[in-house]
C-alpha cells in the first residue's frame, strides 16, 4: 500500500473487512491490504478484525471495526468523477446494491451508510454555462442524467 499524507479512516461497527472487500470489488483499480486482528485484552474479541487496509485508484483507506458508537453521516462523502453516463450508471448500481439508498442530486448511501457523490466530470463546465438551468435540472434528479444536464446547459 502506498504512503499518503492523509488516509481516510472509516469506522464500522463490525463490517470493516466486508466493506473493504466490497469497495475493492466496485472500483477497478483497487486492492486489499493488510488485515489486523484484535488481541487479548482489547476492546473487541480476540481474533476479530480490527482494521482492514485497502486502496481505491491509488488512494489508501483504512476500515476499523470500532463498535456501534459512531455512524456515518452525509456530512462526509466521497466524490466519484465519471466521464460517461455508462460510468455514472455503473457506480450508481454497484453502490446502491444490497441495501444502499438513492439520495438527491447524484448522492447515494451505500449499504454500510457511507455517502458517495456520483458526478459527471463535465458538471462544473455545464454549471458555468448556465448555472440556474443546470442546477434546476439537477435538483430534480436522484441519479444524474448527463444528457439532461447537457440539454439544460444548452
Predicted confidence (pLDDT) per residue in 33-46, tens digit: 999 999 999 988 99
Percentage helix, strand, coil for the chain under 3-state DSSP, each rounded to 5: 30, 30, 40
Domain that holds residue 20: 9-65
Q: What is the pTM of this model?
A: 0.92
70 in any annotated domain: no
Q: Which of 65, 89, 112 is the last residue of a domain?
A: 65
**C-alpha cell of 110?**
451505500
Helix 146-153 to helix 131-138 angle (10° resolution) is 150
**Is 91 found in the same domain as 59?**
no
Q: What is the pLDDT, as a whole number, of residue 130?
A: 87
What digits encode the pLDDT tens for the residues 86-103?
Answer: 999 999 999 999 999 999
Q: Which residues contact 93 (CB under 8 A, 6 or more apart)?
A: none
Average model confidence (pLDDT) across the chain: 95
Amino acid at each position: 500500500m502506498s504512503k499518503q499524507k492523509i488516509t481516510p479512516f472509516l469506522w464500522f461497527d463490525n463490517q470493516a473487512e466486508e466493506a473493504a472487500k466490497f469497495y475493492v470489488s466496485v472500483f477497478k483499480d483497487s486492492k486489499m491490504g493488510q488485515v489486523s486482528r484484535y488481541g487479548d485484552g482489547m476492546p473487541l474479541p480476540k481474533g476479530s478484525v480490527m482494521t482492514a487496509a485497502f486502496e481505491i485508484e491509488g488512494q489508501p483507506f483504512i476500515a476499523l471495526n470500532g463498535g456501534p458508537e459512531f455512524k456515518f453521516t452525509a456530512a462526509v462523502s466521497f466524490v466519484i468523477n465519471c466521464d460517461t453516463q455508462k460510468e455514472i450508471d455503473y457506480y450508481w448500481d454497484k453502490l446502491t446494491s444490497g441495501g444502499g439508498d438513492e439520495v438527491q442530486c447524484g448522492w447515494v448511501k451505500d449499504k454500510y451508510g457511507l455517502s458517495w457523490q456520483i458526478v459527471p466530470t463535465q458538471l462544473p463546465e455545464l454549471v458555468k454555462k448556465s448555472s440556474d438551468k443546470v442546477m434546476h435540472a439537477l435538483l430534480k434528479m436522484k441519479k444524474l442524467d448527463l444528457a439532461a444536464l447537457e440539454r439544460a446547459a444548452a
